[in-house]
């Protein structure tokens, strides 16, 4: 037989255990509700956000390579690569150095050994040609 003191202790322990379990359940449900408020279905999110979660691998066969004085520049876009291929080598090199290797007109003029104004003029003419080429191709 258990004494009344032991029964009281058992009931107190039982009450405390039930209280702890109930509080854990409430915390868990509160946490689920908080998370659910911030979640969105993929069907409601735009493609731009969903595409940020994807990984795509690029291989060298996906690129068209141009060689500029020992530097290889890869172009992934087929239309742009075709337009660049149609340009004279000098203009193509200027555009590749400027827009793919982030060189300034001054740096390009020093590298190619020509005047900066010539670089500027060739770059503008090359860009105009590429724009017209792309417009014709996309019609």
Whole-angstrom distance between the N-terminal and C-terminal Cα of the chain? 97
Question: Which range of residues forms the domain containing residue 19?
Answer: 1-56
- 104 and 52 in one domain? no
- 65 and 27 in one domain? no
What was the pLDDT predicted at 51? 72
CATH of residue 100's domain is 1.10.10.10
- 49 and 73 in one domain? no
- 119 and 64 in one domain? yes
What was the pLDDT predicted at 115? 92
Tell me the C-alpha to C-alpha distance, in Å, between residue 74 and each of 34, 60, 83, 133. Answer: 47, 8, 14, 19
- 69 and 28 in one domain? no
Q: How confident is the model at residue 58 (pLDDT cuts 50, 70, 90)?
A: low
pTM for the full model?
A: 0.57
What was the pLDDT predicted at 75? 87
- 117 and 49 in one domain? no
- As given in the structure block, the two tokens for residue 97 are 């150095």
- 81 and 42 in one domain? no
- 127 and 70 in one domain? yes
Work out the angle between the directed axes of helices 105-112 and 116-137 (0-180°, nearest 10): 110
Q: How confident is the model at residue 74 (pLDDT cuts 50, 70, 90)?
A: confident
- 102 and 72 in one domain? yes
Contacts of 126 (CB under 8 A, 6+ apart): 87, 91, 92, 94, 95
């Amino acid at each position: 037989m258990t004494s009344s003191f032991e029964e009281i202790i058992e009931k107190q322990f039982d009450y405390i255990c039930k209280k702890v379990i109930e509080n854990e359940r409430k915390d868990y449900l509160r946490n689920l509700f908080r998370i659910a408020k911030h979640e969105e279905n993929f069907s409601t999110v735009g493609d731009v956000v969903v595409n940020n979660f994807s990984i795509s691998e690029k291989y060298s066969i996906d690129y068209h390579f141009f060689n500029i004085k020992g530097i290889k520049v890869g172009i992934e876009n087929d239309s742009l690569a075709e337009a660049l291929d149609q340009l004279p080598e000098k203009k193509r090199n200027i555009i590749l150095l400027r827009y793919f290797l982030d060189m300034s007109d001054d740096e390009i003029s020093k590298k190619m050994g020509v005047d900066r104004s010539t670089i500027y003029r060739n770059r503008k003419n090359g860009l105009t040609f590429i724009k017209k080429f792309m417009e014709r191709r996309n019609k």
